[in-house]
Amino acid sequence: MREFQHYIDGRFEHAERTFESIDPATQTPWARMPRAGADDVDRAVNAAHRALNDPDWAELTATQRGRLLFRLADLLEQAAPELAEMETRDTGKIIRETKSQIGYIAEYYRYYGGLADKLDGRYVSIDKTDTEAYQRREPIGVVAAIVPWNSQLFLSAVKLAPALAAGCTVVLKASEEAPAPLLGFARIVHEAGFPSGVVSILTGFGDDCGRVLTSHPLVARIAFTGGPETARHVVRNSANNLAYTTLELGGKSPVIVFPDADLDSTVNALVAGIFAASGQSCVAGSRLLAHRDILEPLLEQLKTRAQAIRIGSPQSMETEFGPLATQRQREHIQDLITRSLDFGATLITGGKPPEAFAEGFYFEPTILLCDRPDSPCLQEEFFGPVLSVLPFDDEQDAITKANDTPFGLASGIFTRDLASAKRVSARIRAGVVWINTYRMISPLMPFGGYGLSGLGREGGPEAMLDYTRVKSVWIRTSDDPISDPFVMR
């Protein structure tokens, strides 16, 4: 069984306590993971706080920080095949997807490496005589970055890269479910040459690791990705240190298909949007709003495509669809489908684990047709390969149904009428709108949601500003003595 270690204060360490990680394709343990306790977290945060003020890090120029990020990107790109195999083994995400994703993640470190020395303060034309003033941006401090198991290398990059570019130090907590890729990534960080304590990477469970980290008095910034319920705990914990907090949470993303859409192209996007990563994505296009005029042919095409998806071992390049990450997730999906069927939904295809893959946490690509917007499958997040379909009658009906959710992360619009697309995109309550495409990402664009989908944005140049504080500097330019404050003139 493979052994993984924590990376704390520039050293790899065995933990006193460990837990087993399960291969989702076989339901068998394959690795032993370190389980961080309160003492481990405290050491990591204190090391980050010390490094924040250590000349080895604090006195680096912004250009030098950028060079470290460029080196990290190069090393990540070289290690992509090995990290992809770890991610596939630990999460069940298919190897053809992990290999392509990790190579692109390096671009996030290059992007913020290039931005590191572009962070400017500003001179202020102050309204006082014999006085000048300017503002400078300084690192906010120690950052607690917490990511879930899905797309963890990407979700850590959008936190780690801007934080390091801004001069912060980071304690990164991997999920206790499938943490192998991030614990493996620690060796890339170490090889890149960051000073000790600048980045620590550990994993553990909520109460003795996550709670201690997010409530630690030396943590100044929390960047969290996960579910709304855990986010509520994070927010409560942050009351102890008043850390600035951003939250990237779940989604129930609508995809609106108008009758003039190119159906072949739309079906490809829909399949990618809901069945990629077996639907385990916060931006999964899980709610299809289809105009009644095209509902029947669209459903027929989707059913045919869903049934043709090649299910198999995630390690095979021929596989298009792998297992879910955990048994708990599969049970949640099955329960939500059952409740939705009881609510009146119609099962178009799927709806159960495939008989040919009984050993792993597999679940068939599934499509449900609904006639009630309040159906559980349209209101609750599956985080799995289930597409819920709801017909609409006109543009206003589509907008109303798209916004009928407490979430607001991503959305899609498919139409040849760009005037209509612009109108609808302006009225959808979501942080991301894709028009005639889906699941596009770039380090140049911000990402985040409305409502229960979170607070704040990741990506783009603005994200680096969120890892800084503004300091106001006042300079008196006169050589005359300051007048006696108690003498009235």
241 token code pair: 């240190």
Instruction: Please spell the DSSP secondary structure of 224-271, one letter per residue.
Output: EES-HHHHHHHHHHHTTTT-EEEEE-----EEEE-TTS-HHHHHHHHH
| 320 belongs to the catalytic site | no
- CB of 149 closer than 8 Å to CB of 161: no
Residues 248 and 398: their CA atoms lie apart, in Å, by 25
Residue 415 is classified by DSSP as: -
Q: Is residue 340 a contact partner of residue 332, using CB atoms and an 8 Å limit? A: no
Q: Which residues, in sequence order, are bridge partners of residue 33?
A: 19
- Rounded to whole angstroms, the Cα distance separating 56 from 222 reads 24
Which structure tokens are listed for 134? 């300017």
Asked if residues 248 and 282 have their Cβ atoms less than 8 Å apart, the reply is yes
Which residue in the list 107, 248, 380, 458 is annotated as catalytic? 248
Q: Which helix (H) or strand (E) is 329 found in, with range?
A: helix 327-342
In the chain, the amino acid numbered 42 is: D
**Using an 8 Å Cβ cutoff, are 388 and 343 in contact?**
no
Question: Would you please indicate which residues are annotated as catalytic (active-site) residues?
Answer: 248
